[in-house]
Amino acid sequence: MIQKPRGTIDILPTESPLWQWVEQTIKDTAALYGYSEIRLPTFESSELYKRGVGETSDVVQKEMYSFEDNEGRSITLRPEGTAGVVRSVIENSLVSGPMPLPLYYLISCFRYEKPEAGRSREFYQFGVEQFGAENPAADANVISLGWDIFKNLGLDVSLEINSIGCRHCRPKYHKALHDYFEKSKDDLCETCLDRLNKNPLRILDCKSPVCSEIAKNAPKTVDYLCPECEKHLEKLKKYLDTAGIKYNINPKIVRGLDYYQRTVFEFISEDIGSKSTICGGGRYDGLVEELGGPRLPGIGFAMGLTRVMLALNKKENLPDLSNKPHLYIASMGEGARLKSFEMSLALKKFGLNVTFDQVGRSLKAQMKYADKTGAKYSLVLGDSELEKGSAVLKNMENGDTTEVDINNFEKIEEIIK
């Protein structure tokens, strides 16, 4: 039997109502912050991620699903959303529209990682990107959206923040990191050895146990910030305090993608095991320019919906999201089935979920099916009901019955609703 590829999930009909609720809650919250949706291709030119996400990131070096298309172009299934949004914003000239420009997306992403709880090869992200505002107020507003989403989903998370400096203070910090890691050169993994000269910052988020152990005492970004970056971080803290958002400054957060500058942050959940980062983001003021656009600041985040679901499934008292039929119409004979079809269509116009027998089962089997679907009411149609023009409507929960006119839909709706 053919099985799904390793690291992918099936979202079954019993699970999808919770996914839909999560997505709707997120969209409603994003709308309050003025965000609009952007929908983009699932695959892009590989060059976009190499230049956007960065040649020295784990994502580009080890995790991309890349292939050549029939005309020899290198194509990559999107490993994340930010680079594609920046590409589109430049390509469609949104960069010259009104600013700030707040955008969101709900997408699946692909990374060739070792699957485990909370880490898959195809995973789902809700992400936001906001362009055109360099002020720390923008950082706080984006973080506040993430904070509100978790609040509205009823999830407890903590917020960790750091600043990784800008292109002015980065060289001094890189030198300090280089000098530090140079001393343990012989113990670093091969990838990190390569990163030592190209981008020593990336060694800080290497997943190899030896490299992470060495990285524990590495110099911290916050000790190397230029006065402007320091001021940015201080102002951001003030905005977050005003919003009543609690945070920890965590100098260890450097994020795994190369485009970040200044503010970086992660939301952590205790409910999802070792893969505890449920959402990550930061500022990427140089990315639009890097990808061929004008100088335009940007900031955003993405939350892993698979991790959101893991956290939600640990909770009790989830909302009842089942879509049980309001009414099941059982029928005996072809004439009655035709009438039950007609009635089901008419009653849908009143907003009722009505099902009828499409299989041709016995009456007993039909009632068993109605019970299994959790239908609230049932009604049986046979030749005599068609002749009389009335039938018995039964409340499946308490057994109460009412004789109803089978053409008086208003009356049926009144009883059912």
Instruction: Count residues binding ligand HAM (CB under 6 A).
Output: 27
Helix intervals (H) in 68-182 = 82-91, 136-153, 170-182
Q: How far is the CB of 287 from ligand HAM (least distance, A)?
A: 9
Q: Which of 44, 58, 80, 357 binds ligand HAM (CB under 6 A)?
A: 80
Nearer to ligand HAM, 207 or 315 (CB): 207
Site for ligand HAM in 218-277 (CB under 6 A): 256-257, 277
Distance of CA 120 to the CA centre of its chain: 13
Does 282 bind ligand HAM (CB under 6 A)? Our answer is yes
Q: How far is the CB of 81 from ligand HAM (least distance, A)?
A: 5
Q: How far is the CB of 188 from ligand HAM (least distance, A)?
A: 23
Nearer to ligand HAM, 123 or 328 (CB): 123
Residue 151 has a CB neighbour count (10 Å cut-off) of 12
| Strand order through the sheet with 390-395 | 354-356, 327-331, 377-381, 390-395, 401-405
Region binding ligand HAM by CB under 6 A among candidate stretches 189-197, 244-252, 297-305, 312-320: 297-305
Q: How far is the CB of 16 from ligand HAM (least distance, A)?
A: 18
Does 127 bind ligand HAM (CB under 6 A)? Our answer is yes
Site for ligand HAM in 159-178 (CB under 6 A): none
Does 279 bind ligand HAM (CB under 6 A)? Our answer is yes
Does 132 bind ligand HAM (CB under 6 A)? Our answer is no
Residue whose Cβ sits closest to ligand HAM:
304
Pairwise CA distance, residues 130 & 137, whole Å: 12
Q: How far is the CB of 103 from ligand HAM (least distance, A)?
A: 10
Q: How far is the CB of 69 from ligand HAM (least distance, A)?
A: 24
Does 100 bind ligand HAM (CB under 6 A)? Our answer is no
Nearer to ligand HAM, 303 or 312 (CB): 303
Q: How far is the CB of 352 from ligand HAM (least distance, A)?
A: 39
Q: Which of 129, 160, 258, 357 binds ligand HAM (CB under 6 A)?
A: 129
C-beta contacts of 11-15 below 8 A and 24+ residues apart: 15/309
Q: Which of 27, 119, 172, 178 binds ligand HAM (CB under 6 A)?
A: 119
Pairwise CA distance, residues 282 & 148, whole Å: 17
Instruction: Give the residues lining the site for ligand HAM (CB under 6 A).
Output: 80-82, 111, 113, 118-120, 123, 125, 127, 129, 256-257, 277-282, 300-304, 306-307
